[in-house]
Amino acid sequence: MSHVFPRHSKLNPPVAVGGEGCYLIDSTGKRYLDGSGGAAVSCLGHGDREIAEAIKAQIDKLAFAHTGFFTSEPAEALADLLIEHAPEGLDRVYFVSGGSEATEAAIKLARQYFVEKGAPERGKLIARKQSYHGNTIGALSAGGNAWRRAQFGPLLLDVSHIDPCYEYRLRREDESAEAYGLRAAQALEDEILRLGAETVMAFIAEPVVGATAGAVPPAPGYFKRIREICDKYGVLLILDEVMCGMGRTGTLFACEQDGVAPDILCIAKGLGAGYQPVGAMLCSGEIYDTIANGTGFFQHGHTYIGHPVATAAGLAVVRALLDRGLVGRAATQGEKLMAKLTERFGQHPHVGDIRGRGMFRGIELVSDRDSKTPFDPSKGVAGKIKKAAFEAGLICYPMSGTIDGKSGDHVLLAPPFIIEDDQLDELTDKLALAISAAI
């Protein structure tokens, strides 16, 4: 009997024993094409020797030094590299061990910034429905996924959730994408005014929505307008690129494509590419300086923040992304993936939408294309696709989610950027098989 506390005690997961490029291998020798990079993690694929060597070299030199006493060479070098390539205005990097820790830290930093600035009345956070920001209590409070939040209601913070920017479901037929983008952003201004602008500290959003929605990109102009609204009312903009960042959408940071820079940016997943658990929160010089010139102490921290081995892995990963041209490859292979998905599923009676950017793609499943009617949740379509795909040797990331009952099942695809054309064919073939088996 296993003593591991599994994610799902009714499943009996195989034992993963190896990883080679785009494949994972279990103890029976079965190979699985990693079509979702786990959960948009494995951007470099598995078994990358260069990253393994960098980790080994760091462990041999220095495995751990507590950040209460020290900084470290890899943490300094990775922070420099990230800031060199980060959106304008971001100036400091706070390293953590994963995505939830990054968003949790961002929420606390926003609050402490206003306290130190002499505006303690600013304590309200606005987020969006159908978003995911992590599973710790603060991050879960920001998330808008009803299913994940349900039983924890009494513990959650009071966060406002506005409608997401979700063209397929929420754009009116008589509306252009641009007009919809502006209308969707207006929801933020309305909510700020409803709450009282002087009480709002921050707005948090994923530039391209991942786990809860299946790679939903923003409408054109949406984030530019969001940035203007935040500036108008002195509200901080927190962008959560835990899933969509680190080259996944075809640019190092997803928000580059929307022409905006946040005040706080959260990254994780692709930063360690699965080789080490590492995430980061980047913040503006103005936020950092306010605290540095005030108490001088961000009231936060975990034992393993800025871990030398984790940051050495992150440094090797970011260098690999940049030096091997993998961000550009995510863009070009991502276009090929989109073309293959469109060819295969463009006329499929149960595929309502195919979307995303770069190596971050999603398809939304419907029982009827014309009316966009979702499947009855009791059918468990997403779960059945996941199971059928896994049996066929494909790892993909199907989920179901709802905003006011309007959406249903989707499949998220986020393969390693190194994926070859024939592996993209294998991915679409196996996905088609799984969808046929499930519906």
Which residues form the interface with ligand PLP (CB under 6 A)?
39, 98-100, 103, 132-134, 206, 210-211, 240, 242-243, 268
Nearest approach, Cβ of residue 100 and ligand PLP (Å): 3
Cα–Cα distances in angstroms (integers) from residue 23 to residues 20, 109, 246, 341, 415, in the given order:
5, 39, 21, 20, 10
- Toward ligand PLP, which CB reaches closer, 301 or 328? 301
Nearest approach, Cβ of residue 215 and ligand PLP (Å): 11
**Residue with the two structure tokens 């984790």:** 310
- Toward ligand PLP, which CB reaches closer, 39 or 65? 39
- Report d(CA 162, CA 2) in Å as an integer: 43
Angle at which helices 99-116 and 285-292 cross, to 10°:
60
- Toward ligand PLP, which CB reaches closer, 136 or 186? 136
Angle at which helices 421-438 and 326-345 cross, to 10°:
40
Nearest approach, Cβ of residue 17 and ligand PLP (Å): 23
Nearest approach, Cβ of residue 102 and ligand PLP (Å): 7
The sign of the torsion formed by the CA atoms of 116, 260, 319, 274 equals positive
- The Cβ-side half-sphere exposure at 378, using a 13 Å CA radius, reads 0
Tokens of 2: 């296993």
- Toward ligand PLP, which CB reaches closer, 230 or 414? 414
Cα–Cα distances in angstroms (integers) from residue 427 to residues 121, 334, 393, 406, in the given order:
51, 13, 9, 28
Nearest approach, Cβ of residue 62 and ligand PLP (Å): 25
Tokens of 204: 């948090």
Other CB atoms within 10 Å distance of the CB of residue 123: 16
Nearest approach, Cβ of residue 362 and ligand PLP (Å): 13
Cβ contact 269:242 at 8 Å: yes
- Toward ligand PLP, which CB reaches closer, 312 or 399? 399
Cβ contact 266:86 at 8 Å: no
- Toward ligand PLP, which CB reaches closer, 354 or 399? 399
Nearest approach, Cβ of residue 397 and ligand PLP (Å): 9
Nearest approach, Cβ of residue 377 and ligand PLP (Å): 21
Q: How does DSSP assign 250-311, residue by residue?
A: SSSSGGGGGT---SEEEE-GGGTTTSS--EEEEEEHHHHHHHHTTTS--S---TTTT-HHHH
- Report d(CA 255, CA 202) in Å as an integer: 17
Q: How does DSSP assign 184-247, residue by residue?
A: HHHHHHHHHHHH-GGGEEEEEE-SSB-TTTSSBPPPTTHHHHHHHHHHHHTPEEEEE-TTTTTT
- Toward ligand PLP, which CB reaches closer, 67 or 145? 145
In DSSP terms, 368 is beta-bridged to 373
Cβ contact 226:188 at 8 Å: yes
- Toward ligand PLP, which CB reaches closer, 101 or 426? 101
Cβ contact 51:271 at 8 Å: no
In DSSP terms, 263 is beta-bridged to none
Nearest approach, Cβ of residue 97 and ligand PLP (Å): 8
Nearest approach, Cβ of residue 399 and ligand PLP (Å): 10
Nearest approach, Cβ of residue 401 and ligand PLP (Å): 12
Residue nearest to ligand PLP (CB): 99
- Toward ligand PLP, which CB reaches closer, 39 or 197? 39
- Toward ligand PLP, which CB reaches closer, 99 or 247? 99
- Report d(CA 235, CA 198) in Å as an integer: 9
- Toward ligand PLP, which CB reaches closer, 99 or 217? 99
